[in-house]
Each structure stands twice: as structure tokens, then as C-alpha cells.
Amino acid sequence: MIAGRDQRRRFSNKLMLVLAAAATVLALLPLGSILLYVATKGLLALNWDFFTQLPKPVGEPGGGLANAIVGTLILVGLASVMGIPLGILTGIYLAEFGRGRLAWLVRFTCDVMTGIPSIIVGIVVYGTIVVAMKRFSAIAGGVALAIIMLPLVTRTTEEMLKLVPNSLREASLALGASQWRTTYSIVLRSAMGGIITGSLLAVARVAGETAPLLFTALSSRYWHTGLDQRIASLPVYIYTYATTPYEEMHRLAWGAALVLVAMVLVTSIAARLAGRRAGGGR
Amino acid sequence: MQMPSPQSRRWGDSLFRGLTFLAALGMIGLMTVIAVQLIRGSQLAFTRFGLGFVTGSRWDPVHGAFGSLPLVYGTIVSSLIALLIAVPLSLGIAIYLAELAPHRVRTPVSFLVELLAAIPSVVYGLWGVFVLVPWVRTALEPFLQKTLGWLPFFQGTYYGFGMLAAGIILAIMIIPTISAVSREVLLAVPNSQREAMLALGATRWETIKMAVLPYGRSGILGAVILGLGRAIGETMAVTMVIGNRPQISPSVFELAQTIASIIANEFSEAFDELHLSALVMAGLVLFAVTLLLNILARLLVWRVARVPEGVTRE
């Protein structure tokens, strides 16, 4: 009787442990499938033209997505120039000066902002910048991406600064350095690795964003001509090409996906390495 | 050594402090701008339709009918399908990673799950269109109809595109969120809880079921709500596989539409004011719902563990 119950207990123990491991394997299957398809179909699409040519009109074979690759880099660059410094400043405020209700509010806003769907950011930037400029533009796209980066950079900066031991700050202040000197050359410097990691992860995150670009930067079939003009990007091309009926465009979409995924993964891995080398990262 | 005069030092300090203060205020300002812009943009639709916007079941831009019930339905049902698939799998992963996996397995598997979160949404969509949808059409839907076809949910034409494909792709996309947060929660459960159970002669699974999971209950619920929030706001992948037809149908094989996907589809083509305003209003609804879910989830998780950085964004 007791032996039977024990056996059942042992059996259900084994079963559940195996199920937990099986869940892990099952969840990783789609990852394998996605990476496999992106790699094989993407590689078939990549050639010299892909990186040097402009897209051809609908139905014509050949062509490339050079303008979209450049466009993605420009958009992400613009976003970084706006989002990273602002995020770091806000992070410094939270870690070094932020006490009381206002800091709580900023921290809370920041956390909640990471949860807002990115398409909402697109609508808002459309309503402010695109409407004011009366046209879709690289600037608008960059601002949308910067808004998405901002809370990510802020929170990692804060976390990293909090890891810096207080004795370092006290030592610097005791030597007669002013507070901003202390924060700038002592605290920020020792947290630099972690902050770079956080910023790069934010860059990787926004590089693949599509929804907010649909009504801010839109897209373009030509080379980039100015920050106040609409601009091509890889994510938007993947979206538009995947939803057309043309073989040739599907091929280019897979190529674009491979380039995009490679960019994102290389950035994330670089981020981790930067953090590890500087010792401050996760 | 020359010291800076106290006067100039005070100047530098207040300038620096002021600068960071302004940046912090900017964050709150930004959030305010987002809310105000959405409310202002939806004014026209709100005065025209009022609550009828949420209860109306016909979305027909050509005839000026903007009832968002089919979108709300599509959003809720696709998210529920996603949760149904993702929650058990994510809990399995969290349990495996936090309680069972040996160290040399834990790191690479955690990394792989994180990788799942790093892949852009539009790439999921591309994979969905060319790999998932054909599989759903030729294998999954015929199978479901054959085995469970007596239920109204599993009847109809095999499009491949539709509610089911959207639910599956959402599930894949929210697994990293739910599993990462639940893992943090499980890791925060004090070891004394486990030791006490094991000392009483419980098996590993009994320990997990009766001590670890109940202790982390509110945190795990928070993780699931965070996942739900993400599923509701997810745009690109869903837009690409859901079929984009605003309708309410009991069958999960049918084409559908979500709030996020209709905005992605129609916003840049909406030339008349009312249409645009209706889309912004749909956005406002989405904003409000995800905001509430996020606040709720964070309150639940905060009590148990800290939320890993940036796990929620679409």
C-alpha cells in the first residue's frame, strides 16, 4: 500500500521533471527553425548586388537593398545620438541625486514606458513631428526609435551606477573633487562597461523595430538624400516584400532578414563582451 | 595643487545636477506628450461615436463605420491562445532553469531563450508567412478538425493565415518574457523553503509544487500578465499572419484583426480625418490597456523579485 504510493510519487516526480525539460526543448524548436530558414534562405539571396544596388521596380529581377542597409544604420545612429545621452543623464539623476517622490515617479514612468507597444510611439511621433513637418522623414523615424531606447538606457545606467561602491565617491570627494567631477570621472568611468552594454543592447533592440517606422520614416526606393526626407530601412522592406506575391521580392526579404538578424546578434554579443571586459556588466 | 574656488565648484555642481534633473523631467514630459497626443488625436472619433466605438461590431472605413469590437475580440482571443500555449511551456522552462538544470546547461539555454527575444518581430513575421502558415494550413488545421472538429472552434476553411497562426507566433514571442521573469521569481524563493520540504521526505517535484510555486505565485502571475501585455501590443508578426479581416468568428481558423495590426495596416492610408482619428482612438485603447497590465504586473513581480531589464517591449 505504502510502497504503491511511493512508487506513484516517484513516477510523477520523474514525469514532471522530464516534462519541464521537454518544455524547454519544445520552446527552442521554433528558434532553431527561424535561424535555419533565415540562414539558408538568406545566404541564397546575398550577393554583391544585394549590398550595392538599389531595389528594382516591382516584377523586375535583380537589384539589392543597399539603400535600406544604409538607411537602417542612419536611423539607428540618429536614435542613438538622441536616446543614449538623455538616457544616461536621466540614469545619473536616478542613481546619484534621485530621492523622494519625483525619483520614484521618473523610475516608474521609465518602467511603464518599456511596456508601451512601439506602434503607439509611431502614432505619437506621426501626430507631432510628421504632421508639423508635413512629411515623413528620417528625423521622425530617429526620434521614434530614440523614445524606445530611452527607458532601456536609463534603467541600465541607474543599475550600473548603483553597483559603484560608495567608498569610491567618498574618496574622491574627500580629495576635494567637486561632485560633478566625482560623478563624471570616477563613478561614470567605473560603470562605463555596464553602461556601454546597456546602450548597445538598446541599439540592438531598436534596429529591428518596424511598426514605429511605418508612419514616421516610411520607406524609399532611392538613396538617402537628407534627414528631412523619407528613408528606407531593412525592417520595413522585409515587411513590404514579404507581403507581395513576387518570388524575387521574397528572396530579397530573406536576404534582408539575414543581414538584420546578423546586425542585431553581433551587437548583442558585442554588448555582452564589452560588459565582461570592463567587469561592470552582467 | 590648485583647488577650484568654492564659488565655481558650486556652479559646476548645480549645472550638472540641473542638467540631469532636466533629463529626468523630460522622461515624465515625454510620457505626458504621448498621453495628450493620443487623447487629442482621438477627439473626433470620440465625439462621433462615444462608447459605441467599443461596442460597435462593424469596421468599414469606406462607409464611415468604426466599431472596434472585432479588433478587441481579435486582440483578446489571439492573446489568450498565446497564453494557453506559452504559459505551460514558459513555466516548464523556468522550473527547468531555476531548479533542475546543471550549471553547464543553464547558461547556454538561458542565452538561447534570450536570443528568442532578440530576434526582430518582423523576422518572426517573415518566418510566419513562409514556414508557419503553410504548416498550419496543411498539417495543424486538418489535424485539429479531424480530432476536435466537433467543437465550433476547429471548423472551417484552411487558410493557414488567421487567428490560430497569430496565436502560435505570439506564444513563441512571449515565451522569453514569461520564462525569464518567472525564473527570476523562482530564484528569489528562499532555499529554506526547499530544504524544509526535502527534509520532510518530499520528492523534487513535490517540493516545487507545494513549496516553490506557491511561494512565487504572485510573481509568476505578474510574469504571465507581462506576457499578456506584450502579446496585446505585438504588431508586426501578427499583422503578417492574422489575415487582416475585422470580423468575429468562433473558429480559430478564420481570418481576424487586432488593434495593433489594424493600425499598422491602415494608418498610413487613412486620408480622411475620421478614419485617422478612429485609428488613434484604437491606439489610445491599446495604450490604456497595456499601461494597466504593466503596472499590475510590475506591482506583482516587485514583491517577489526584480524584473529583468527591457523584457516587455514589442
The full DSSP string for B126-163 is HHIIIIIHHHIIIIIHHHHHHHHTTSGGG-S---SSSH
**Interface with chain B: mutation pick from A5, A15, A16, A201, highest number of B CBs within 10 Å:** A16
Q: Which residue of A94, A123, A157 is the best one to mutate when testing the B interface, meaning the one whose CB has the most B CBs within 10 A?
A: A123
Of B129, B131, B229, the CB nearest to A33: B131
Hey, which residues does B243 pair with through a beta bridge? B256
CB contact under 8 A, A124 and B33: yes
User: What is the pLDDT at residue B1?
Assistant: 45
Whether the CB of B18 is below 8 Å from some CB of chain A: the reply is no
Query: What CA–CA distance (Å, rounded) separates B56 from B282?
Result: 13
Number of neighbours of residue B137 by Cβ within 10 angstroms: 19
CA B120 vs CA A32, A154, A210, A263, B243: distances in Å? 15, 22, 8, 11, 20
The answer to whether B277 faces chain A, any CB pair under 8 Å, is: no
Cβ neighbours of residue B267 closer than 8 Å, sequence gap 6 or more = A122, A123, A126, A214, A215, B276, B279
pLDDT at residue A22, as a whole number: 94
Contact A93 B91 (CB under 8 A): no
Q: Is the pLDDT assigned to residue A279 strictly greater than 60?
A: no
pLDDT, tens digit, for every residue of B185-196? Answer: 999 999 998 999
Average of per-residue pLDDT across A234-244: 94
How buried is A102 (Cβ within 10 angstroms: 0-12 exposed, 13-18 middle, 19+ buried)?
middle
Percentages helix, strand, coil for chain A (3-state, rounded to 5) are 80, 0, 20
In 3D space, the residue among B174, B164, B289 whose CA is nearest the CA of residue B231 turns out to be B174
* CB contacts < 8 A (A, B): 286
Q: Strand, helix or coil at B256?
A: strand
Q: Where are the beta strands (DSSP E) in chain B?
A: 59-60, 65-66
Closest Cβ–Cβ partner in B19, B97, B125 for A89: B19
> How far, in Å, CA of A271 to CA of A108, rounded?
26
Assess whether pLDDT exceeds 60 at residue A1. no
CA B268 to chain centre: 24
Cβ atoms A186, A172 nearer than 8 A: yes
How much is the pLDDT for A182? 87
**Closest chain A residue by Cα to residue B37:** A124
Residues of A in contact with B313 (CB under 8 A): 114-118, 148, 152, 205
Nearest CA in chain A to B207: A13
The answer to whether B176 touches B274, Cβ cutoff 8 Å, is no
| Number of Cβ within a 10 Å radius of residue A226 | 9
User: Do residue B126 and residue A94 have CB atoms under 8 angstroms apart?
Assistant: no
Using an 8 Å CB-CB cutoff, list chain B residues near A33: 127, 131
Whether the CB-CB separation of A204 and A117 falls below 8 Å is answered with: no
CA distance A232 to A220: 5
Dihedral sign for Cα B87, B92, B97, B99, please. Answer: positive
- Nearest-angstrom CA–CA distance, B36 and B67: 23
Query: Burial, B2: exposed, middle or buried (Cβ in 10 Å; 0-12, 13-18, 19+)?
Result: exposed
* Separation CA B208–CA B15 (nearest Å): 53
pLDDT tens digit at each of 314 positions of chain B: 455 556 666 788 888 888 999 999 999 999 999 999 999 999 999 999 988 898 888 998 888 889 999 999 999 999 999 999 999 999 999 999 998 888 888 888 888 888 888 999 999 999 999 999 999 999 999 999 999 988 888 988 899 999 999 999 999 999 999 999 999 999 999 999 899 999 998 888 999 999 999 999 999 999 999 999 999 999 999 999 999 999 999 999 999 999 999 999 999 888 888 999 999 999 999 999 999 999 998 888 877 776 665 555 54
Nearest to A220 by CA among A230, A228, A212, A206: A230
CA B307, CA A217: separation in Å to the nearest integer?
Answer: 32
Spatial contact of B309 and A152, defined as CB atoms under 8 Å apart? yes
- State yes or no: pLDDT of A86 exceeds 90: yes
Q: Which of B40, B90, B123 to mutate to test the interface with A (most CBs of A within 10 A)?
A: B123
Chain A: closest CA distance from residue B294 (Å): 6
Residue B20, class by beta-carbon neighbours within 10 Å (0-12 exposed, 13-18 middle, 19+ buried)?
buried
Q: How far is B293 from chain A (nearest CA, A)?
A: 9
Distance CA A230, CA A140 (A): 9
Q: CB–CB of B34 and A120 under 8 A?
A: yes
Mean pLDDT of chain A: 90
- For B243, the 3-state DSSP assignment is strand
Predicted confidence band at A6 (pLDDT cuts at 50, 70, 90)? confident
Asked if B15 lies within 8 A of A114 by C-beta distance, the reply is: no
pLDDT digits (tens, 9 = 90+) for A242-260: 999 998 999 999 999 999 9
Q: Which three cell numbers stand for residue B220?
A: 509568476
Please choose, from the candidates A117, A124, A88, A93, the residue with its C-alpha nearest in 3D space to the C-alpha of residue A106.
A93
Lowest mean pLDDT among A83-87, A186-190, B236-240: A186-190
Would you list the DSSP string of B57-80?
A: --EEGGGTEE--HHHHHHHHHHHH
**For residue A4, what are the contacts with CB-CB under 8 A and spacing of at least 6?**
none
Give pLDDT, residue A254.
Answer: 97
Fold entry, domain B57-305 = MetI-like fold (1.10.3720)
- B286 touching A (Cβ < 8 Å): yes
Give residue A71's pLDDT band: very low, low, confident or very high (50, 70, 90): very high
Greatest C-alpha distance within chain A: 82
Confidence of residue A56 (pLDDT cuts 50, 70, 90): confident
Interface touch B313/A204, C-beta < 8 Å: no
